Structure 1
């Protein structure tokens, strides 16, 4: 009898199936397609890779779907509760990985849609697939292009350590230079790819709102300042503005003389940030202040 891993691998090699949603059947007589459709899940971790639409773009998409129906299939990741870390259950789970805006519009207006089921070996493979989808979109801003290239570089760089270990043990193929490989793919330099990686890492430390402002070219925060955040001691999605920690400190009435002196120094530095080095120095001071508060 084939193992679970062998069965999963065989399933992953099957051709993707596009399901046309049939006309609604009698209540209580849902077929398999309707069952899948009614159990679609959205994971915030994956939704973060989807390029959000402006209100105008969303409104235009809604008008198009109302007029012509949902022409493109929603893509679902067919996985299991076990593989998502939800216990021992092997029950199927269907996660939306492309078509979030279309899904929202169709649900709101009770419009039929098609679904496409895909299987992947891991959630990391799903993320890479989603990144490739976003890179393929038209009309990306320069910031978005850099961000998605950086995400791809960081994802592949994370696998390189494993590949190197296998190569050293004689159990793997020759390890490629990821930056050079991607540089050739996107027709940029390898240095650009590495800077994109820092940009993506730094950008992910901003709140989702601020991150979207940067990606849409509406933020005053420079690309170099964001790249410098890549090595800063902040959690992802935690920075609402570079002045957030300073503002937090201003509300504290019990600051020590040493902390007050550092706060004043940071305020003066923040007013004169004009280079990457100055930004790195400011971040170091902010980290120091963070530890004091």
Structure 2
């Protein structure tokens, strides 16, 4: 909460929030899939606790909403107002599902890049991030600051024990005498890790963005566990963003990359540490079904995630059932 308030205080809160305007905004909040993707899914017990708290005490914390225009989002001259949800996606979904009142704070941003940076920084301020989530958001921040989101290549990767090349980002405009500091060094210093960790986080984030939303969410939530090296291997591929929809397609893609680079190497796909957990997949499926009722929800995108999640659950149940039958023979 403190981190949230500190970050919010750096933004310009729009003052005109009269009752009538407030009601109009609440009815027209838009949830953008590309921004919702920055919100890691809650663990089942976290979701249940948040839901219980809101149903008991109401939504105490205001949702953060960016007031912008259709033109700013679509690159046109359309000045129709748009109210984009920036923070509070889980609270918003619960309030919509149970008809619970909520407040909004309108905040000014210069554009989508600033919104994205704000959301990444806000997520990194959370205390309950998993190691995968922490690596993902640190990597996203690195890629965004370098302006290479979705374009990451490992052609210049030197390996874990070999130093990287000299600074990739130098800020000498304000101080020509300043020692060059790379983007990775700057971020590493802030989060008390080394530069190579940030570089590997960037590989992980770039690889994760090759996955379909449902598979990415399952990995970040911990319901599916895959070796980081499998994900990092995808970073240098030409696989389209969001195209890998299942564990099978993920491992096939990484196997093909390894085969192309090192024909004699062992399949990297076999490094997956454990299968999907049916209980976690059921929870994820239930959450997706519930999100369909949210006003402004991306119904087509959510339906795609439901299909992917249901397919993963079915595959896991079939495999578990087959394993049980084999034991009983």
Alignment partner, residue 15 of structure 1: 12
Which one of the candidate residues 79, 94, 99 is aligned to 1:105?
A: 94
Q: Larger deviation: 235-244 or 44-53?
A: 235-244
Which one of the candidate residues 250, 263, 267 is aligned to 1:270?
A: 267
Asked whether the equivalents of residues 25 and 83 of structure 2 are also in contact (C-alpha less than 8 Å), the reply is yes
Which one of the candidate residues 118, 121, 130 is aligned to 1:132?
A: 121
Whose Rg is larger?
1
Gaps of 5+ in 1: 1-12, 23-30, 249-261, 276-293
Asked whether the equivalents of residues 200 and 232 of structure 2 are also in contact (C-alpha less than 8 Å), the reply is yes
Alignment partner, residue 218 of structure 2: 213
Runs of 4 or more off by more than 6 Å in structure 1?
18-21, 164-168, 170-175, 245-248
Deviation at 1:108? 2.0
The alignment's TM-score, normalised by the length of structure 2, stands at 0.62
Structure with bigger RCO (C-alpha 8 Å, 6+ apart): 2
Deviation at 1:55? 3.6
Deviation at 1:20? 7.7
Alignment partner, residue 134 of structure 2: 145
Distance 1:182 1:246, change over 3 A: closer
Distance 1:180 1:14 in 2: 26
Gaps of 5+ in 2: 1-9, 150-167, 254-258, 273-329
Asked whether the equivalents of residues 134 and 148 of structure 1 are also in contact (C-alpha less than 8 Å), the reply is yes
Asked whether the equivalents of residues 19 and 115 of structure 1 are also in contact (C-alpha less than 8 Å), the reply is no
Count matched residues: 236
Instruction: Name the SS of the counterpart of 1:84 in structure 2.
Output: helix
Alignment partner, residue 177 of structure 1: 182
Alignment partner, residue 239 of structure 1: 244
Distance 1:34 1:231, change over 3 A: same
Asked whether the equivalents of residues 154 and 197 of structure 1 are also in contact (C-alpha less than 8 Å), the reply is yes
Q: Deviation string for 1:167-191 (max 9, x for gaps)? A: 89x8998875111100110000011
Asked whether the equivalents of residues 42 and 95 of structure 1 are also in contact (C-alpha less than 8 Å), the reply is yes
Mapping of 1:40-189 within 5 angstroms? 40-85=29-74, 87-158=76-147, 176-189=181-194
Distance 1:215 1:19, change over 3 A: farther
Alignment partner, residue 232 of structure 2: 227
Deviation at 1:273? 5.0
